[in-house]
Structure 1
Amino acid sequence: MVYCKNYLKFVQSKSKGTQISMSNKQISSTQNPLIKHIVLLKDKSRERKKTNTFVLEGEREIQLALNGQYAIETILVLPEIYDTKKLIDFPDTINIIEVSKDVYQKIAYRETTEGIMAIAKSKPHQLESIVFNNNNPLILIAEAPEKPGNIGAILRTADAANVDAVIIANPKTDLYNPNIVRSSVGCIFTNQIATGTTEDIIAFLNQNNIAIYSAILQDAVHYHEQDYSKGSAIVVGTEADGLSDTWRKASKQNIKIPMQGAIDSMNVSVAAGILIFEAKRQRNFK
């Protein structure tokens, strides 16, 4: 039995730039053009940016993406693992295709899988797209994070604290890297996210009267001594490089977490969690 409402009729051929018709509603060959395309999306940032699409895996992640107003184009399922009766819960506009075990193993990127993955349209993440729903927004900013695991953890922290926005300054990694989607457990879809240069972000914050608190050792005070009840941006850098001097100069106040052990730094996602939840504590977790 084929579990399909609307199946993918055309897929872009990367070799000739032509459209290839899909004659079947099931895919059993790893050489199928759609499967090759998915592998490229999974492995190549350039392909994701070129097509403005990306892959995601897992029922929860797909549902979070839909809730976040992401356009899901295609869902691929492995019936041996995924309960296909649940496919009725997805919008009729999504192409649903059944694949073989060999095909699914080719395109899956998790060590453990739920037997369902999807192709979705990405979003532009411009600073101008940020919408504040209150007069005292709380923003988490990370400058030049590179490791997908750290970025995913930062997004999970932001979701847990329900911050108003996450901004990535001078991004070094494609936001739709599958490892970011996976490590964020879908929080890439639940946060309001923007990217930009450090200079553009500082200008944006100043225009919106949002105070900057940079996690940097120079000229810093202990983080819990500041008042974050008004519009605030908590800015963190990487453990290796810290924040650029531009942030130090732009800060209302530089802040630091007192270290009581043998080392003088901690993981960026851990630091972000400490700082953001202090701001939330001051706001009575509203």
Structure 2
Amino acid sequence: MNTITSHQNPKIKFLNLLKDKSRIRKKEQRFIIEGNREISLAISGGYHIEQLYYCSSIATKNELQLILDVIDNSIEVFEIPSEIYQKLAYRSTTEGVLAVAISKDLSIKNISLKTQNPLILVAESPEKPGNIGALLRTADAAQVDAVLIANPKTDIYNPNIIRSSVGCIFTNTIATGSTQEIIDFLKNNKINLYGAALQASVNYYTQNYTKPTAIIVGTEDKGLTDEWLKNTTQNIKIPMSGVIDSMNVSVAAGILIFEAKRQRDFIV
């Protein structure tokens, strides 16, 4: 195990760039993972861990060994002091372990569905990392077959997405693409498209989601674009009794996805 003590060390400078700059993450095809659970989930999800950074004043050697036991023995491991670790960490309650992982190509062309009757969550143009993380947690809880992100406005490997998803970025099958690419993918796979929208919509619980299904949600302020609305099988809405006519996108997605899940579990 090597030791780094200076903030000016090139590896520490590179970690700061990975943490803060989306363009660096994309260019280098690498990103940072923080925490034992998240690192373990990434490994289980097939991500290659390239380097591990460990703060001995926070994490025990036993905790470090749990990670080392399941990764390649050739991985570089560096011990860093608390003052460096705290500047790299995103969480206030942290575990003393950071990893550098190699990104995956999440293009829609690379996805393959493992079932003939998939349930898919589609999010158009999500921007807030907290919302994206919550959508991924919902998808994991419902065990959807894929999460497709159309026209993403935020780098999927943003540390805030990893943090807010509590590692569910690694437990879901995720793909990104343009709206048209994802529409083409869904139609080519004969998947019904149910768009969450107020236009020409029916109450969500009136529809049958037991066949191949994609639930599509848009942004909270603008909803789904016309490109989606003219291609949906049916637009659906959640009836609301309050003054406003919209809710948080992750909450809406949870209601819709779990209705589909309820119907599918009922017929099993």
TM-score (structure 1 length as normaliser): 0.90
Of residues 74, 80, 83, the one that matches 1:99 is 80
> How far 1:93 sits from its partner (Å)?
2.8
Of residues 97, 115, 118, the one that matches 1:116 is 97
The answer to whether 1:47 aligns with 2:24 is yes
> How far 1:128 sits from its partner (Å)?
2.3
- CA–CA separation in structure 2 for the residues paired with 1:80 and 1:100: 8
Is the radius of gyration larger for structure 1 or structure 2?
1
The SS at the match of 1:93 is coil
The answer to whether 1:177 aligns with 2:154 is no
Match of 1:56 in 2: 33
Match of 2:8 in 1: 31
The SS at the match of 2:236 is strand
The answer to whether 1:132 aligns with 2:109 is no
- CA–CA separation in structure 2 for the residues paired with 1:197 and 1:106: 35
Report the residue type matching 1:72 in the other structure.
Answer: I
Give unpaired runs (5+ residues) of structure 2: none
Match of 2:265 in 1: 284
Match of 1:167 in 2: 148
> How far 1:263 sits from its partner (Å)?
1.0
Report the residue type matching 1:78 in the other structure.
Answer: C
Match of 1:72 in 2: 49
> How far 1:85 sits from its partner (Å)?
2.2
> How far 1:261 sits from its partner (Å)?
1.0
CA RMSD after TM alignment: 1.0
Match of 1:208 in 2: 189
> How far 1:87 sits from its partner (Å)?
2.7
Report the more deviating stretch, 158-167 or 78-87: 78-87
Match of 2:132 in 1: 151
* Aligned residue-pair number: 263
Match of 1:254 in 2: 235
Which string of whole-angstrom CA distances, capped at 9 and with x for unpartnered residues, describes residues 52-77 of structure 1? 00001000000000000000011111
Report the residue type matching 1:102 in the other structure.
Answer: E
Report the more deviating stretch, 144-153 or 97-106: 97-106
The answer to whether 1:242 aligns with 2:223 is yes
Is contact 1:38-1:107 (8 Å) kept?
yes
Match of 1:218 in 2: 199
Report the residue type matching 2:221 in the other structure.
Answer: A
> How far 1:94 sits from its partner (Å)?
2.0
Which string of whole-angstrom CA distances, capped at 9 and with x for unpartnered residues, describes residues 33-88 of structure 1? 00000000000000000000000100000000000000001111110110112333
Is contact 2:64-2:97 (8 Å) kept?
no
Of residues 236, 239, 251, the one that matches 1:270 is 251
Match of 1:20 in 2: none
> How far 1:262 sits from its partner (Å)?
1.3
> How far 1:258 sits from its partner (Å)?
0.3
Which string of whole-angstrom CA distances, capped at 9 and with x for unpartnered residues, describes residues 190-241 of structure 1? 0000000111110111100001000010000000000010100000001111
